Structure 1
Amino acid sequence: MGILDWSGLWFGLTLPAIVLMYLFKRKYIDTVVPSHLLWDRVLRNIEANRPWQKLQNRLLLWLQLLVAALLVFALMEPFVWTSGSGSGHTVIIVDTSASMSAAWNDGEAKTKERATSRLDKVKEQLKANIDAAGSQTEFTLVRLGSEPDVLLSREGNRSLLKQAVDELVPDYGKAAYRETLSLAEALTRDDPAAGVLVYTDDRWTERTDDIAFGGVPIQIVSVGEGTEANASIEQFGVKPISNQIKAAGIATVRNYRETSISANLDLYGDGKLLASKKITVEGGKSAQVSFEELARDEVYRLQLSPEDDYAPDNEAFAFLERGSQPDVLLLSPGNMFLEKALQLSGARVTRMNTASGGGKESEQSALPEDKPDMIVIDGAAPDYLNSEPWTEMLQDTPLWTWGGKGKKLPLTNGEVKTVSHPVTRYLSFTTPMAGELLDREMPAWGSPLLEFGGQIAAYAGTEAGQRRLSFLFALEDSDLPLRPEFPILVGNAVKWLQSGKASGLGRVTAGTEVDIPVPTEAEEAFWIPVDGYALQSGAGKIAAERNAGSVLSRQTSPGIPGLWRFEMKEADGENLSSYNLEVAADPAESGILGGGKTLSIGSSDQNSSSPAASAGSDTRKDAGKAKPLGASPLQSQRSLVSLVVLLALLVILAEWGVYQRGRSI
Structure 2
Amino acid sequence: MNLLVPAALAFAIIIPIILVFYFLRPKRQERVIGSTLLWHQALQDVQASRPWQRLRITPLLLLQILAAIVIVLVLSRPAIFARSPVSGDTIIVLQSSASMQATDIPSSRFQDAKNQISDFIDTLGSGDHLSLITMAHTPEVLIAHSQDKSQLHAALNRAQVTNQDADLGQALSLATSLTAGHSDAQILVVGDGHVIQPDQTLVLPVPVRYLRIGTDAPNAALLALASRVVQGNLVALAQVANYSHQQRTLPVELYANGQLVSVQSITLAAEATGSIQWGPLNTNTQYLHAHLISQDAMTIDHDAWAIVGSSIHGRTLLVTNGNSFLLAAMRQQPGLDLYTITPNKYNAKTVGNFDLTIFDGYAPPTLPDGDLLFVNPPNGSYIFGKVAPQVKISRIDTGTDTINALSNVDVSSIHVLTASHQLTPALWAQSILSAPETPLLIAGETNNRRVAVFGFDLHDSDLPLQPAFPILMYNLTNWFLPQPVMGGQSLAGLPVSVQTWPGSESVTITSPAKQ
- Which residue number corresponds to residue 266 of structure 1? 253
- Which residue number corresponds to residue 281 of structure 1? 267
1:252 aligns with 2:236: no
- Which residue number corresponds to residue 292 of structure 2? 304
Against the structure 1 CA distance between its residues 329 and 273, is the aligned structure 2 distance closer, same or farther, given a 3 Å change threshold? Answer: farther
Against the structure 1 CA distance between its residues 569 and 286, is the aligned structure 2 distance closer, same or farther, given a 3 Å change threshold? Answer: closer
Q: Offset at 1:564?
A: 5.5
For residues 318-397 of structure 1, the aligned pairs below 5 Å read: 340=322, 344=326, 347-348=329-330, 373-374=336-337, 376=339
Q: Offset at 1:266?
A: 3.2
SS of equivalent to 1:166: helix
Contact 2:221 2:302 in 1 (8 A): yes
Against the structure 1 CA distance between its residues 327 and 166, is the aligned structure 2 distance closer, same or farther, given a 3 Å change threshold? Answer: same
SS of equivalent to 1:162: helix
- Which residue number corresponds to residue 95 of structure 1? 95
1:240 to 212, 224, 229: 229
- Which residue number corresponds to residue 213 of structure 2? 223
Against the structure 1 CA distance between its residues 201 and 341, is the aligned structure 2 distance closer, same or farther, given a 3 Å change threshold? Answer: same
Counterparts of 1:372 and 1:185, CA distance in 2? 48
Counterparts of 1:260 and 1:175, CA distance in 2? 27
- Which residue number corresponds to residue 560 of structure 1? 492
Contact 1:203 1:224 in 2 (8 A): no
Q: Offset at 1:241?
A: 2.4
Q: Deviations over 1:568-611 (max 9, x none)?
A: 243x54589x999xxxxxxxxxxxxxxxxxxxxxxxxxxxxxxx
Larger relative contact order (Cα-Cα within 8 Å, sequence gap ≥ 6): 1
Contact 1:96 1:145 in 2 (8 A): yes
- Which residue number corresponds to residue 150 of structure 1? 141
TM-score normalised by L of structure 2: 0.50
Aligned AA (1:568): T
Against the structure 1 CA distance between its residues 565 and 302, is the aligned structure 2 distance closer, same or farther, given a 3 Å change threshold? Answer: farther
1:521 to 427, 440, 445: 445
Counterparts of 1:190 and 1:489, CA distance in 2? 64
Any unmatched runs of 5+ in structure 2?
Answer: 3-14, 30-42, 375-401, 406-442, 449-484, 511-515
Q: Offset at 1:231?
A: 1.1
Identity of aligned residues (%): 18
Against the structure 1 CA distance between its residues 564 and 213, is the aligned structure 2 distance closer, same or farther, given a 3 Å change threshold? Answer: closer
Aligned AA (1:305): I
Aligned AA (1:223): I
Q: Deviations over 1:441-481 (max 9, x none)?
A: xxxxxxxx62xxxxxx34438xxxxx899xxxxxxxxxx99
Q: Deviations over 1:527-584 (max 9, x none)?
A: xxxxxxxxxxxxxxxxxxxxxxxxxx999x97735895722243x54589x999xxxx
Aligned AA (1:340): G
- Which residue number corresponds to residue 383 of structure 2? none
1:138 to 129, 143, 163: 129
1:167 aligns with 2:158: yes
Against the structure 1 CA distance between its residues 278 and 143, is the aligned structure 2 distance closer, same or farther, given a 3 Å change threshold? Answer: same
Counterparts of 1:372 and 1:566, CA distance in 2? 17
Aligned AA (1:105): D
Against the structure 1 CA distance between its residues 565 and 180, is the aligned structure 2 distance closer, same or farther, given a 3 Å change threshold? Answer: closer
SS of equivalent to 1:567: coil
1:294 aligns with 2:281: yes
Contact 1:343 1:349 in 2 (8 A): no
Q: Offset at 1:143?
A: 2.6
Against the structure 1 CA distance between its residues 344 and 280, is the aligned structure 2 distance closer, same or farther, given a 3 Å change threshold? Answer: closer
SS of equivalent to 2:152: helix
Aligned AA (2:262): S
- Which residue number corresponds to residue 119 of structure 1? 110
Counterparts of 1:185 and 1:481, CA distance in 2? 60
Counterparts of 1:494 and 1:277, CA distance in 2? 47
Counterparts of 1:166 and 1:181, CA distance in 2? 22
Counterparts of 2:491 and 2:104, CA distance in 1? 26
Aligned AA (1:176): D
Against the structure 1 CA distance between its residues 56 and 118, is the aligned structure 2 distance closer, same or farther, given a 3 Å change threshold? Answer: closer
Q: Deviations over 1:414-445 (max 9, x none)?
A: xxxxxxxxxxxxx9xxx9978xxxxxxxxxxx
Counterparts of 1:253 and 1:139, CA distance in 2? 41
Q: Offset at 1:140?
A: 1.6
Aligned AA (1:567): Q
Contact 1:266 1:303 in 2 (8 A): yes
- Which residue number corresponds to residue 398 of structure 2? none
Q: Deviations over 1:150-170 (max 9, x none)?
A: 332212344443343333344
Say how many residue pairs are matched. 371
Q: Deviations over 1:169-221 (max 9, x none)?
A: 4465553324534554564477465454432124456489985766x6x7644
Counterparts of 1:232 and 1:63, CA distance in 2? 63
- Which residue number corresponds to residue 200 of structure 1? 191
